[in-house]
Structure 1
Amino acid sequence: MQDLLRSVSDSYPEFSSGQKKVGDLFFKEPIFLAFSSALEVGRRVNVSESTVIRWTQKLGYKGYAEFQHVVQRKLAEERLEKAEQKIVEPAAQQSFLMNLLDADISTIEKLKESINEKELLQVVDKISQANRIFVTGNFFDYGIAHWFSNWLNLALDHSEMLYPSTGEYYTQLSKMGKGDLVIAFVFPRYTNLIIDALKSAKAQGADVVVLTDSTESPALAYADCALAVSVNSSLNIDSYTSVHALLTSIMRFIYVKDQEKVNGNWAKAEEVYKERNLFI
């Protein structure tokens, strides 16, 4: 790792002002660059994603991904040396895993520091008071949106998924109105589809709750309530660990607020499970 730090230090005088910001961040938090996307790094120091990529190219790498792989390997080797493991290969693998888990733990720590409980309770109130709830997601966010929608429907009995640009979407939209709620997961990369869905929902009179990653998210223009939570991206794979943590907190608050209704709906579901002998 020291040789990489020296390389950055030697090239530092040749960096532009924006690239020097990236270099300074690397000196302070190399693990952040190792497990964050170029976009996230740029946002951290207020430079563009392209500036971060050009910075790695200035160091002699083809692009950010190649540089990131080198940093991850260097960090793994450094951990390995400090631990003085006798079996090299398993230790290296464990070290890499520990780094990945540390990155997820870091996002939860950020959530713990940044979350506003008053705003979270406002979201819980919106969910509790809604006539109907529509949950939607931004491209890669459909998985977590579908999971949350299923839980809400089981607990509160009036939630469904909203899939933009489908025939069913237009039917759902035509029936949407005042008193209804749209919960949208809007994480990069943002799409025109999700923005159109939120714009249409607002036009129909529905309230909108947005879960997103940044105060610069375009979805915030249509949000009545919003919760910000960072998504960790490593090796071009997004980790929604912190989002799951936030949703679990919301679910627990909903249970406390509407305990009688939730327990009643769960009991009905359990009766069906038993009738069908569903579980072993």
Structure 2
Amino acid sequence: MDKKEDLLKRIQDNYSTLSKSQKIIAEYILNCYDKAAYMTAAKLGKSIHVSESTVVRFANTLGYDGYPELQSALQELIKNKLTTVQRLEMTNETDEISILNNVLKSDIDNIRKTLEELNKDSFKNVIGNIFNAKKIYILGFRSSTAIAEYLGFYLNLILENVTVVKPGVSDVFEQMLRVNSNDLVIGIGFPRYSKRTIEVLKYAKSQEAKIVTITDSLISPLTSVADEVLIAKSNMSSFVDSIVAPLSLVNALIVSVGIKEKEKITDTFEKLETIWNEYGIYSS
């Protein structure tokens, strides 16, 4: 069974063959998926008065190796369904130090998982795509704007063909009007995924541009049009989007591009240092 298949669809397709107890589990997940996603098998069973073993068998019946795999699939799929209020309710801690520890540990875990699971060949291919492109468009909206701006800021110091697509007076489609098969579009999106990002990527794909997406999962809607996908984990600890691992991945892209253009950017930064000193850009 396809691991990317929507969990809720699996439940619906298998519902008629489930046992009475398993149907109770199915109905709870369908109606309270936001709560079920963060329960252990034992806690889920206790809350609906079935045994932990019944919950595990339910996961197996749906084609998962065990409950942790089902839970992981559910957590992935609900990211774009949870409202900000629901995400806020996931934060149970009120003690400041507990929050500090949990958030930092979560970000450390996101970076570790990103390093373990990132497709290294795709990373190399993206570097090649950057150098082969006639023009590079970078876009990311909502909380992903910060990542797009950061990537664009540094790539603009290294390359001369980079444009960050920004919402504003000019519509984003107008900024992408002349995108073509010689160009590269880097789309950045994390839960809750921006609909406009997906629309712009689909337009760029229709114009035969090369598409790279930086997102959190292979089931992200941004991957549907991508030629290359770079996965950076952004598992949330609350209502705030975690962009630590995505920024770390973007740093790696910037450094990789910069090293290949080391001689060129040395001259660039020498000029910049002169300008910065002359105009007092930085505190001495």
Distance 1:190 1:178 in 2: 25
Distance 2:46 2:235 in 1: 30
Partner of 1:103: 106
Partner of 2:239: 236
Distance 2:250 2:195 in 1: 25
1:139-189, Cα deviation, whole Å (9 max, x unpaired): 321111111111111121321211368525344322322322111102122
Partner of 1:24: none
Where do 1:1-280 residues align within 5 Å? 10-11=46-47, 13-14=49-50, 17=55, 43-45=72-74, 49=78, 65-66=88-89, 68-70=90-92, 72=93, 93-163=96-166, 167=170, 169-280=172-283
Q: 1:206 to 1:279 in 2, by over 3 A?
A: same
State the secondary structure of the residue aligned to 1:279: coil
Q: 1:193 to 1:47 in 2, by over 3 A?
A: closer
Tell whether the 8 Å contact from 1:138 to 1:187 is kept in structure 2 after alignment: no
The one-letter code sitting in structure 1 at the alignment partner of 2:256 is: F
Tell whether the 8 Å contact from 1:164 to 1:193 is kept in structure 2 after alignment: no
Using the TM superposition, give the Cα deviation of residue 198 of structure 1 relative to its aligned residue in structure 2, in angstroms.
0.9
Q: 1:153 to 1:114 in 2, by over 3 A?
A: same
Distance 1:135 1:216 in 2: 21
Aligned residues: 231
Distance 1:144 1:158 in 2: 18
Tell whether the 8 Å contact from 1:202 to 1:222 is kept in structure 2 after alignment: yes
The farther-off stretch of 129-138 and 161-170 is 161-170
1:33-79, Cα deviation, whole Å (9 max, x unpaired): xxxxxxxx9544579649x99xxxxxxxx97754x344x46xxxxxx
Q: 1:117 to 1:182 in 2, by over 3 A?
A: same
Q: 1:46 to 1:241 in 2, by over 3 A?
A: closer
The one-letter code sitting in structure 1 at the alignment partner of 2:248 is: A
State the secondary structure of the residue aligned to 2:182: coil
Tell whether the 8 Å contact from 1:181 to 1:206 is kept in structure 2 after alignment: yes
Tell whether the 8 Å contact from 1:232 to 1:239 is kept in structure 2 after alignment: yes
Using the TM superposition, give the Cα deviation of residue 218 of structure 1 relative to its aligned residue in structure 2, in angstroms.
1.8
Partner of 1:79: none
Using the TM superposition, give the Cα deviation of residue 19 of structure 1 relative to its aligned residue in structure 2, in angstroms.
12
1:95-129, Cα deviation, whole Å (9 max, x unpaired): 33112211111111101110122211111111122
Partner of 2:11: none
User: 5+ unaligned residues in a row in structure 2: which ranges?
Assistant: 1-38, 60-66
Using the TM superposition, give the Cα deviation of residue 228 of structure 1 relative to its aligned residue in structure 2, in angstroms.
1.0
Q: How many percent identity over aligned positions?
A: 26
Q: 1:218 to 1:256 in 2, by over 3 A?
A: same
TM-score, length basis structure 1 = 0.70
Distance 2:165 2:264 in 1: 24
Tell whether the 8 Å contact from 2:173 to 2:200 is kept in structure 1 after alignment: no
The farther-off stretch of 221-230 and 6-15 is 6-15
The one-letter code sitting in structure 1 at the alignment partner of 2:255 is: R
